[in-house]
Structure 1
Amino acid sequence: MTQHQERLFVLEASSGGRLFSVNPDGTDKKVLVTGCRIPDGIAVDAAAGHIYWTNMGLPPENDGSIERAGLDGDDRTTIVPSGATHTPKQLHFDATGRKLYWGDREGMRVMRCDLDGSNIETLVQTGQGADDRRDETRWCVGVTVDPVGRHLYWTQKGPSDAGLGKILRAGLDLPAGENPDSRGDIEVLFDGLPEPIDLELDLTERMLYWTDRGDPPQGNTVNRSPMDPPEGQRTPEILVTHLMEGIGIALDPDGDSMYVTDLAGNVYAAGLDGSNPREILILQGNLTGIARAVLSA
């Protein structure tokens, strides 16, 4: 009988850039990869035995990349080379479409590629050139995908604590005859947010979850909303507060659990409704992305 093991995979942007894994209670920490160039977003394809992560590089230099390794950190390889994406941030693995999606912050776009790094596409383009790049409302950060409804979700965080953050949605594919910088199918689901970062979907309950690293009371939180909120009822439900610049989020809908990271180096666990919040790791460096996977033992 096959046994299964649940693991969390976490990125640490400090200490030279590391990727480590732990049990869901924070025990058995294993450093898998070192020497990442400011890693930010992470995704796991457990069936194929792969971990993917983004490297921001140096944001002014247009030298971001995406790497892949085995579940124990072996066979490390670069699949999206330096400069093919400017500043890749949060990363999503679409198991249905077999694609990787990410937000490119200074590139002002949302992108995707095949799992080997080929067929790189720009799906959304919010600006062009140095002048636009200085406008942080154009910066795309978090990303997730609804393969059933064929929708792409992303965040544009805005300047720090400015209350100009947005969560947007568009079709999973570029409409025929349209361009990434002039799509007619983009919806703004939420605006006026402090600084929204990472996104996750509970497709069974049709709920959207996200972290916000802005100022309290709306910021430094985990929030959720129905994926299809009625007009006039688009008020996020705040689930977890008092984060220290919340970044990554990973859901376990079957286990009624969420896991969250912040830049102060903490990993938190809580119920999907925010109940029983607790620290499972503290002071681990500047933590960014987090992913959860069930592995065959």
Structure 2
Amino acid sequence: MRNYTGKITGLMLAMLVAMVTLMSSCKDDEGGEEPGEGSELTITAIDPATARIGEQVTIIGTGFNPDYSQNEVKFYAGETFVDGVAVKKYVNATLVSGTSTTIVVIVPATAQDGHIIVIANGEELESSMDFVVNVSLDNPVLTSLSPTNGFPGSEVVITGENFGEGIEAIEVKFGETVATVSGVTATTITTAVPEGMTEGEVQVSVSREGAAADKTLSYTVNKIPVDVKTVYWPTIDGIHKGVINETGATITNIYPTVDHTEAGSAFGIAVDAVGGYVYWSGNGIYRASIDGNGTIETVLASDNYVFYDVALDPENQMLYFCAYSLDFGTAYINKVPMDGSVEEETIYEVSTDDEFGVESIKLSISEDKIYWTDGSYFRVMTGSIDGSTDAVVLFDEVDGLYYPTGIAVDSDNEKIYISNNGVDFVGTSEILVGNLDGSGDLEAIVSSGDYVKAPYDMEIDLENGYIFWMNSQVPANTSNSEVMRSTLDGETVEVLFGGFENGSLFDIEIGEVLPE
């Protein structure tokens, strides 16, 4: 019998080697082995080829290290000069993920249009195609509204990003109603609540040339309040008049500084509704028609004072004002006839350490008393309207006063309201009430927060039961201002007027006050 074992074994071995070789070849042809180290380094695409700073880009090619963190990607970043020779600069990109054929990176902040460099497995390759930085604006981004509530006609400032700078490109809607845009910067839009808006919560939307913002913001359209007094206040732009009627809120600059230089330095203000005049203090004391017509008269001109607040006694045709000596060493409470026909008379002198002294004064004609705030010593004081009695301290820092900036007197109920501007010092801002004779404790009826922000001055409407104050910093540490109103118990608080700057002292149009 013949032995075929050796021949069969050899044949089988040869067949086995051939099969392994064929399988290996097939595997290579099918791309089953992931190329990496040892593969040729190539860049075949940049996806997308145009992107914004901070967006992700995928680099496609071969020969990348499968451990993406071991690769390095650089974007062109302009040129620099070395010994007078221009040299290209590149900036490293942050790596996000990758494989041996892809690397995902974030476009660096200083990237410019140009080639991309990949360094992998000891090799370096510059792309043949350009990457382009997209410098167009992304969709608008909304951050906040200020204020977040108000009446139809009230100004609203929208804060965010990517607004551009063209008013015509921006559309603002309160619900489905298009609002008027009065100003645009890259980060702010100034608009107003459309007239005729129904009270309640509404969503504010923004689009720029059809590109919608990332979200909407909630705004509350307040119910048109009843019994609103006309409000007057000075700013560096002039004397302003705020009116609320059934259609909403309107603000008019009745004596703009650009036309009336006497209004540019205005600080204190008082209204004689019966006589038809608005008075204000600045470089002197002036008066003009309450409706914004006519000429401005000088009631008192003096180079000896720095003028602050004013208060009126229409019954006796007297005007009271507080002022400082030029060195701010002394504060004065003076009076002068409302027509300026007689020289002023000093009824009280108050020593002061600085210009945070007498700022706000109020009269109680029925009591023949005058009340004022003293910011130097954190106190509220009272005296007689003729200066015949010594001044008395009603409340001071022992009672929790940080910086009293305004007062309102309710003689009928023997109460005094105080705006406590603690934000300028170490305390909180709040609206306080206490007994008119200084007895007992002060009580906060409106606390710091959305409603009380660096408050200045106060007024009172006893006929309808409201107190008013000026928020001088909305938000904190800004010059944005607003006029607020609250019921005497602090239960209902409303923003009456907003969207203006540098407000401090103000007055409301009471009308004729009959003697008791």
Q: Tell me, yes or no, whether TM beats 0.5.
A: yes
Residue 188, structure 1, aligned to residue 444, structure 2: yes
Structure 1 residues 115 and 150, CA, compared in 2 at 3 Å: closer, same or farther? same
Structure 1 residues 41 and 91, CA, compared in 2 at 3 Å: closer, same or farther? same
Q: Secondary structure at the match of 2:438?
A: coil
Q: Secondary structure at the match of 1:80?
A: strand
Query: 2-side partners of 1:243 and 1:103: how far apart?
Result: 25
**CA shift for structure 1 position 127:** 5.2
2:71 paired residue number: none
Query: 2-side partners of 1:155 and 1:248: how far apart?
Result: 12
Query: 2-side partners of 1:8 and 1:48: how far apart?
Result: 17
Structure 1 residues 75 and 57, CA, compared in 2 at 3 Å: closer, same or farther? closer
**CA shift for structure 1 position 185:** 2.6
Q: Secondary structure at the match of 1:22?
A: strand
Say if 1:141 and 1:156, in contact at 8 Å, map to a contact too. yes
**CA shift for structure 1 position 72:** 1.5
**CA shift for structure 1 position 155:** 1.2
Listed as ranges, the matches of 1:5-44 within 5 Å are 5-12=275-282, 17-27=283-293, 28-35=295-302, 37-44=305-312
2:343 paired residue number: 75
Q: Secondary structure at the match of 2:281?
A: strand
Q: Secondary structure at the match of 1:201?
A: strand
Say if 1:143 and 1:199, in contact at 8 Å, map to a contact too. yes
**CA shift for structure 1 position 58:** 6.4
The residue identity in structure 1 corresponding to 2:483 is V
Query: 1-side partners of 2:327 and 2:475: how far apart?
Result: 27
Which residue, 145, 156, 162 being the options, matches 2:420?
156
Residue 247, structure 1, aligned to residue 504, structure 2: yes
Q: Secondary structure at the match of 1:78?
A: strand
1:237 paired residue number: 494
Structure 1 residues 138 and 60, CA, compared in 2 at 3 Å: closer, same or farther? farther
Say if 1:210 and 1:224, in contact at 8 Å, map to a contact too. yes
2:388 paired residue number: 118
Say if 2:420 and 2:429, in contact at 8 Å, map to a contact too. yes
Listed as ranges, the matches of 1:24-103 within 5 Å are 24-27=290-293, 28-35=295-302, 37-57=305-325, 61=329, 63-73=330-340, 74-83=342-351, 87-103=357-373
Structure 1 residues 243 and 151, CA, compared in 2 at 3 Å: closer, same or farther? same
Which residue, 434, 445, 454 being the options, matches 1:170?
434
Say if 1:87 and 1:104, in contact at 8 Å, map to a contact too. yes
Stretches (4+) displaced over 3 A:
56-61, 159-163, 216-219
Say if 1:56 and 1:89, in contact at 8 Å, map to a contact too. no
Select the structure with the greater relative contact order (CA < 8 A; seq sep ≥ 6): 1
The alignment's TM-score, normalised by the length of structure 1, stands at 0.69
Say how many residue pairs are matched: 230
Query: 1-side partners of 2:455 and 2:426: how far apart?
Result: 11
**CA shift for structure 1 position 11:** 1.0
Query: 2-side partners of 1:206 and 1:189: how far apart?
Result: 14
Query: 1-side partners of 2:309 and 2:427: how far apart?
Result: 23
2:485 paired residue number: 224
Say if 1:163 and 1:195, in contact at 8 Å, map to a contact too. no
1:282 paired residue number: none
**CA shift for structure 1 position 224:** 0.3
**CA shift for structure 1 position 64:** 0.9
Q: Secondary structure at the match of 2:463?
A: coil
Say if 1:214 and 1:220, in contact at 8 Å, map to a contact too. yes
Query: 2-side partners of 1:239 and 1:167: how far apart?
Result: 17
Query: 1-side partners of 2:505 and 2:346: how far apart?
Result: 22
Query: 1-side partners of 2:494 and 2:326: how far apart?
Result: 35
Of 152-161 and 21-30, deviating more is 152-161
**CA shift for structure 1 position 158:** 2.2
Note the aligned Cα RMSD (angstroms): 3.0
Query: 1-side partners of 2:398 and 2:292: how far apart?
Result: 40
Say if 1:110 and 1:123, in contact at 8 Å, map to a contact too. yes
Structure 1 residues 196 and 56, CA, compared in 2 at 3 Å: closer, same or farther? farther
Q: Secondary structure at the match of 2:506?
A: strand
Say if 2:352 and 2:376, in contact at 8 Å, map to a contact too. no
Per-residue Cα deviation, 1:245-276 (whole angstroms, up to 9, x for no partner): 21122122459xxxxxxxxxxxxxxxxxxxxx
Q: Secondary structure at the match of 1:96?
A: helix
Say if 2:328 and 2:352, in contact at 8 Å, map to a contact too. no
**CA shift for structure 1 position 82:** 4.8
Per-residue Cα deviation, 1:214-239 (whole angstroms, up to 9, x for no partner): 12499500000101134xxx5x3111
Say if 2:286 and 2:296, in contact at 8 Å, map to a contact too. yes
Larger radius of gyration: 2
Structure 1 residues 59 and 121, CA, compared in 2 at 3 Å: closer, same or farther? farther
Q: Secondary structure at the match of 1:138?
A: coil
**CA shift for structure 1 position 168:** 0.8
**CA shift for structure 1 position 9:** 0.9
Unpaired stretches in structure 1, ≥5 consecutive residues:
176-183, 256-292
Q: Secondary structure at the match of 2:505?
A: strand
1:201 paired residue number: 460
Of 22-31 and 199-208, deviating more is 22-31
The residue identity in structure 2 corresponding to 1:227 is L
